[in-house]
Amino acid sequence: MLTCKKNRRRGGSRAFRRGFTLIEALIATFMVGLGVSAMMVATKSGTQVNAEARDITQAVYLWQEVREWTLKLPFKDPDTPEEYPGPDTGEDPQVFVDDIDDLMYVTYDPPRDGTGQAASDMTGWSQQISLRWCDPNCIAATVSPGTSDLIYVEVTILYEGQSVLKAGWLVTKKD
């Protein structure tokens, strides 16, 4: 009889060693869940980074379009070149721009392309343009509008009211 009891213990013990314990299954499930959660967080972060990169790329494009446009414009009004800088009498910068000083403190929504035409397919985007006349001897010094042949053009690109890019460049009078 003692022999039978020994065999039963060994047989029962072997069956117990072949399967997983409840603790092992619980730990394995936890580790798999942790891995899946980490992958979901990484995917979400990657998607956010891609969206921000897309917005910055779009903002740089819109900034370059304004820069291209301003570099083509005459420095002063071709009709009345001695007129005070700013939108000419009777001209609306939302409709007509014939020189760079017409862009003083203008916001375009929808934004404009390199020829000054509205890009109506770019909803949510806008361009804010400001001009600052600079002293040619000290670019950081501001002078009265129209008294210098050097203008600092600053453009802020916004998407849904939030600033995405702010940059500027210098424009000089072309002889």
Alpha-carbon span 153 to 68, nearest angstrom: 12
Write the pLDDT tens digit of every residue in 10-38: 555 555 566 778 888 899 999 999 999 98
The per-residue pLDDT for 75 is 83
Alpha-carbon span 158 to 35, nearest angstrom: 38
Q: Which of 159, 139, 161 is nearest to 149 (CA)?
A: 139
Residue 175 CB-density burial (10 A; 0-12 exposed, 13-18 middle, 19+ buried): exposed
Alpha-carbon span 162 to 134, nearest angstrom: 28
Mean pLDDT over the full length of the chain: 84
- Residue located via tokens 């397919």: 121
Bridge partner residues of 165 (DSSP): 157
Write the pLDDT tens digit of every residue in 136-159: 999 999 999 888 999 999 999 999
Cβ within 8 Å of residue 86, ≥6 positions away: 101, 102, 104, 145
**Alpha-carbon dihedral sign for residues 81, 83, 86, 91:** negative
The per-residue pLDDT for 91 is 65
What is the average per-residue pLDDT within 70-75? 88
Please state the pTM of the whole predicted model.
Answer: 0.70
The per-residue pLDDT for 62 is 96
